[in-house]
Chain A
Amino acid sequence: MAEVTIRALSKAYGGLSVIHGIDLEIPDGAFVVLVGPSGCGKSTLLRMIAGLEEISGGDIRIGARRVNNLPPSERDIAMVFQNYALYPHKTVAANMGFALKMRGMSKADIAARVARAADILGLEPYLDRYPRALSGGQRQRVAMGRAIVRDPQVFLFDEPLSNLDAKLRVQMRTEIRELHLRLKTTTVYVTHDQIEAMTMADRIVVMRSGRIEQVGAPLELYDRPANVFVAGFIGSPSMNMIGGVVHGGMVQVGDVRLPLPAGVIAVDGQEVILGVRPEHLSVRSEGFQGSVAVVEPTGSETHVVVRVAAGAELIAVFRDRVAFRPGDALTLFPEIGKAHVFDRASGMRLSP
């Protein structure tokens, strides 16, 4: 186990720069999730840690070692890939033991380590099978077994659950989390799914266009997003963004005047974005008037899309059963104390 330290890391393909000087500290034993939209550089960053991509600038350290120029096999890492990448012509046991065999470990040691990993993952009945005879979830478990047996300093996961169906994904999410609690190995996990990030991570790293937007614990990101991008990316359904102008301690949104949340430092005339989570909208007699466009019941809660003035849409989430129908008139009022205020020009958070 070791911490991973990344300093001023950059990556360019020819003249095209895709990672722009990233600094990141991954503490020993942490479960860190890199999340962001596709093309944000999260997979590239992971592959640079793994040694599968060359580093154009900056440093990566695993523990005390600077690994920039080490080949992947010498970095003491293990990686789990999105499409499993099992060796098709090797049995499950051989797949798991292969890296150890390459290191020249004795047969008895390999067998012991494979048996231990198989025990952890419940793979004993399948050790003699070939990957093609396994289901998707089992294959992903074998891929994890292959990582576990190496007892590496860092686990790297590259969207490991993307190919699984929804139910299995939730189950594997829990399994990976439990595995981490048990092994306490430093883990870097890449996903584009913010729910995976929220549920699994100790710390989330939100990335966009090769830069880190914010680093923090899941609820910290949810409660205090640093900018409009993080606010919109974390949370589902995503945060409502309402444009407005500050005027005398109030925010003027269309013809609705709302008090500025406490602690916001803004000057008169400053254009701001008011961010309101769907669960912080409630039905009142005053507020944003509109008509119900879509009602999406999920069972435990109901999402209601309301079309308000000027074509904008607000999404509200109600915990209790509501009987709205498309076309109904509805007035929504935000819970001011829980609203977020961002500067329109820079997108940065103004709320404390």
Chain B
Amino acid sequence: MSARLSPGRAIAAHAALLTYTAIALFPVFVIVINSFKSRRAIFADPLALPLPGNFDLVGYQTVMTRGDFFLYFQNSMIVTVASLFCVLLFGAMAAFALSEYRFRGNMLLGLYLALGIMIPIRLGTVAILEMMVASGLVNTLTALVLVYTAQGLPLAIFILAEFMRSVSDDLKNAGRIDGLSEYAIFFTLVLPLVRPAMATVAVFTMIPIWNDLWFPLILAPAEEVKTITLGSQVFIGQFVTDWNAVLAALSLAIVPVLVMYLIFSRQLIRGITAGAVK
């Protein structure tokens, strides 16, 4: 901790942070409150809180009855969780190899893997679509999982490799002397120690996947593989938009990602390494 702030500066700092929080949360707040109001009330006074006079669950009713909303939810969950699992597993393995072993081209390989951070994967959409068509993966969740895994790996490797370099060599060597295989060292010694970094990577990876509209629209637009963001689009028509339903769907879509965020942020607790070294 740096020196204590004077009261004036503390107030200024808090004011800035509170303002930012308010700005960041405002759209979410508006979505949530309006999802509980009648259509007329949404347009009459968008900022009013849902009160007995204008309270209406019609949006949620529409969402529950129309379309396979639960199926969309399930699809989104499957894609997000599967992609997250692949990104974390393969990302951590690659990061371990890059940080632990000395081999020819280590540096180049690291740079190559990090290059993906700088090049948006969407530039390759046409090629990806052609590839998926050729391999018959169009309109499958597998296609999405593969694309999202590729999208998430560069950043995951970059961050995790940096963290893994900080894991004590002595600890890994103690494992080697005790007869652990390299896989056992990776899974039982290194992974638990980089758990905070894994949680960070998980949050960074998860949110863009959950929110993505682009790839589901292009690679998996069929009814049975639609994700929640794509599914919500049915309520947005060319001439009439069912705002109650759109807002209700969006409000519901926030819940799982919030739950997952809370799970991971609990892992961000430091001090797991205390006692291992020094």
Contacts and interface: CB of A to CB of B under 8 A. Distances in A.
Partners in one complex: yes
Interface of A: 47, 50-52, 71-73, 77-79, 81-89, 98-99, 102-103, 130-134, 136, 139, 146, 158, 163
Nearest to B192: A89
Contacts of B106: none
A142 to B, nearest CB: 10
A50 B274 CA distance: 26
Contacts of B189: 87
Contact of B170 (A83, A102, A131): A83
Interface string B170-211: 110111111110000000010011000000000000000000
A50 B278 contact: no
26 contacts: A47-B173, A50-B173, A51-B177, A73-B177, A73-B180, A78-B177, A81-B173, A81-B174, A82-B170, A83-B170, A83-B278, A84-B170, A85-B170, A85-B171, A86-B171, A86-B276, A87-B174, A88-B193, A88-B275, A88-B276, A99-B178, A103-B179, A131-B275, A133-B275, A136-B278, A158-B170
B274 A85 contact: no
Nearest to B178: A99
A102 B274 contact: no
The interface centre, meaning the residue of A82, A84, A88 with most chain B CB atoms within 10 A of its CB, is A88
Nearest to B171: A85
A77 B178 CA distance: 9
Given A72-B173, A73-B177, A87-B189, 7 more contacts: A51-B176, A52-B176, A88-B274, A99-B178, A99-B179, A146-B174, A146-B178
The interface centre, meaning the residue of A52, A73, A87 with most chain B CB atoms within 10 A of its CB, is A87
A88 B273 contact: yes
B278 A163 contact: yes
A139 B168 CA distance: 16
Contacts of A82: 170
B125 to A, nearest CB: 43
B176 A73 contact: yes
A102 B176 CA distance: 11
Interface string B137-181: 000000000000000000000000000000010110111111110
Given A81-B173, A87-B171, A88-B193, A98 B274 contact: no
How big is the B interface, by class?
20 to 34
The interface centre, meaning the residue of B168, B177, B274 with most chain A CB atoms within 10 A of its CB, is B177
B272 A88 contact: yes
Given A52-B176, A103-B179, A81 B274 contact: no
A-B pairs with lowest CB-CB distance, top 3: A132-B275, A73-B179, A131-B275
A134 B275 contact: yes
A136 B175 CA distance: 20
B184 to A, nearest CB: 9
Contacts of B277: 83-85
A291 to B, nearest CB: 45
Given A83-B170, A85-B168, A85-B171, A98 B178 contact: yes
B275 A72 contact: no
Contacts of A130: 275
A99 B184 CA distance: 13
A128 B275 CA distance: 14
Contacts of A86: 171, 174, 275-276
Contacts of B271: 132
Contacts of B175: 87
Contacts of B171: 85-87
A72 B176 contact: yes
Contacts of B274: 88, 132
B128 to A, nearest CB: 41
Given A81-B170, A82-B170, A87 B276 contact: yes
Nearest to A77: B177
Nearest to A84: B277
A52 B170 CA distance: 10
A336 to B, nearest CB: 49
Interface in B257-278: 271-278
Contact of A50 (B177, B273, B275): B177
Nearest to B274: A132
Contacts of A47: 173
Nearest to B102: A13
Contacts of A89: 192, 272
A51 B179 CA distance: 12
Given A99-B179, A103-B179, A85 B192 contact: no
Contacts of A81: 170, 173-174
A190 to B, nearest CB: 13
Contacts of A87: 171, 174-175, 189, 276
A88 B173 contact: no
A81 B193 CA distance: 18
Nearest to A50: B177
